[in-house]
Structure 1
Amino acid sequence: MFIQIIQGRCKRQDEMRALGDRWLREVAPQAPGWLGGTYGFTDDGEMIAVIRFESKDAAMANSQRPEQQAFWAEMERLYDGPVEFHDCERVVMMMDGGSDQAGFVQVIRGKLDDPDALESGMHDMETMLHEARPEIIGATFAIEDDGTFTETVAFTDEAAARRGESQAMPISGPMHDAMMQFDHMVHDVEYRDLHAPWFASRT
């Protein structure tokens, strides 16, 4: 899988949402290798799109299509300023990557020192996390070449997510050890909340 994250400030949110819906109707069905996406606005007006493709080649091929270029020209005008792109060929999924039925999404950006260690320990971590935090229904780690990662975490709903994050971490045991190991792997972490996310997937 290949993930591209697109983000930028946007005050014209209704127009952006409407244009995104039109893209899904008119362009997505013919987009090569497009798998789906997670979208939303943060409280401070940042639009975030986490878009999944089968491969980088498919994503690049899609970006060259005239239909895609025409839509992007329209979309770019709706942003308030510069737009960031983050291309990630390395993707690690937790619990199959998430769910389009999620009621709340948290996007976490940071630096990862050892992607190999994260990937090798993911199975054990997701099993323990699912037992301890059942409101988490999946996540993806999209990792750039320099170790920058974007984790997209899907929750059943925001109230359950807030209750879960307020729980005290175990002071010992496998879950404690796994969380401590993860905390030592990552740094420069930032959180962005999508209170009203929307989703799309190829049917």
Structure 2
Amino acid sequence: MRFIQIIEYRTRRIDEFNALLDSWVEKNAGHRLATRALQTRDRDGEDVYLNIVEFPSHEVAMENSARPETAEFASQVAALCEGPPSFRNLDVLEERSFEG
């Protein structure tokens, strides 16, 4: 079952955050476990951002979380944020596309 993790964080240093994220994506090219990722900004919350990351399954997401490079990235990101991130862990039950 596909799995989505939503990570909400607050930072005034989004450019530094994105540079770190770009570096992590480049370092992990060819062996990333996520299948899709979106970065969003909350229009109603100042300096609030959400990353929406999709994995093939919960197990794969947990494998990703256990990787040393993921732990290192999380530690570096924490230094750029005001407080710890919050997580939502979601099993994808159904998907619908609306076009036209």
TM-score range, shorter chain: 0.7 to 0.9
Q: Is 1:2–1:91's contact at 8 Å kept on the other side of the alignment?
A: no
Is 1:24–2:16 an aligned residue pair?
Answer: no
1:8 aligned partner, one-letter code = Y
Aligned with 1:51 (options 50, 53, 69): 53
* Alpha-carbon shift at residue 67 of structure 1 (Å): 1.1
**Secondary structure at the counterpart of residue 16 of structure 1:** helix
* Alpha-carbon shift at residue 41 of structure 1 (Å): 2.4
% identity of equivalent residues? 29
| 11 and 88 in structure 1: CA distance in 2 versus 1, 3 angstrom threshold | same
Deviations 1:146-186 (A, max 9, x none): xxxxxxxxxxxxxxxxxxxxxxxxxxxxxxxxxxxxxxxxx
Larger radius of gyration: 1
Q: Where do 1:33-182 residues align within 5 Å? A: 34-43=34-43, 44-95=46-97, 126=98, 130-131=99-100
Root-mean-square deviation (CA, aligned residues, Å) is 1.5
Deviations 1:61-107 (A, max 9, x none): 01111111111110122111131100011343222xxxxxxxxxxxx
The structure in which a higher percent of residues are strand is 1
| 28 and 73 in structure 1: CA distance in 2 versus 1, 3 angstrom threshold | farther
Q: Unaligned regions of 5+ residues in structure 2, if any?
A: none
Q: TM-score, normalised by structure 2?
A: 0.86
1:45 aligned partner, one-letter code = D
Runs of 4+ in 1 over 3 A off after TM superposition: none
* Alpha-carbon shift at residue 58 of structure 1 (Å): 0.3
**Secondary structure at the counterpart of residue 83 of structure 2:** coil
| 38 and 91 in structure 1: CA distance in 2 versus 1, 3 angstrom threshold | farther
* Alpha-carbon shift at residue 42 of structure 1 (Å): 2.8
**Secondary structure at the counterpart of residue 11 of structure 1:** coil
* Alpha-carbon shift at residue 51 of structure 1 (Å): 0.2
How many corresponding residue pairs?
A: 97
Distance 1:25 1:6 in 2: 20
2:20 aligned partner, one-letter code = L
